[in-house]
Amino acid sequence: MLKTCKSLSLSAAWRDRRPKDMHPKLLAAVRLHLAVLHAAIDEQDLKQAFADRLSPLYDPSVPFPAKAPAESPAEALEDAGTDHRGTRLPCGWRVELGYGWRLEFVFKDGQAWGVSLESGEPLR
């Protein structure tokens, strides 16, 4: 369920109004993605609906994952070549809309909080 939006134009788009600062093609994509967010019950629904356009957001102030230190030198060698990014818990989610735009939000207990529309180059 969609709970909060960070901008008035995004909230207006969700309420079936046309913001003046939003192109009609972008507006259609935003409404479609907001409807999916509103219908999603859990993170599995998001992953199924958005597929490879969904990516987790990580807190940049936490440089390392919350993992116990290696007990032995052998474990340290095994861990040296692995990507630990997947072991950290995401602080939010990003969905690529296209046209150089993306939605960023926090999904907790079946509710999307703080949905924001961000512009810029798509992050791959």
| Residue in the structure block whose two tokens are 């390392």 | 64
pLDDT above 70: residue 33: yes
pLDDT at residue 91 in the model: 82
Kindly state whether residue 33 falls inside one of the protein's structural domains.
Answer: yes
**Number of CB atoms found within 10 A of residue 102's CB:** 21
**CATH number of the domain bearing residue 99:** 3.30.2310.20
pTM higher than 0.85: no
Q: How many domains does the chain have?
A: 1
pLDDT at residue 61 in the model: 73
Question: What are the φ and ψ backbone dihedral angles of 15, each rounded to 5 degrees?
Answer: -85, 20
Domain that holds residue 36: 1-58+87-124
Kindly state whether residue 91 falls inside one of the protein's structural domains.
Answer: yes
Kindly state whether residue 72 falls inside one of the protein's structural domains.
Answer: no
Least confident of 13-17, 19-23, 76-80, 117-121: 76-80
Least confident of 32-46, 78-92, 96-110: 78-92
pLDDT at residue 63 in the model: 65
Instruction: Give CA–CA dist 14/12, Å, rounded.
Output: 5
Question: What are the φ and ψ backbone dihedral angles of 5, each rounded to 5 degrees?
Answer: -120, 145
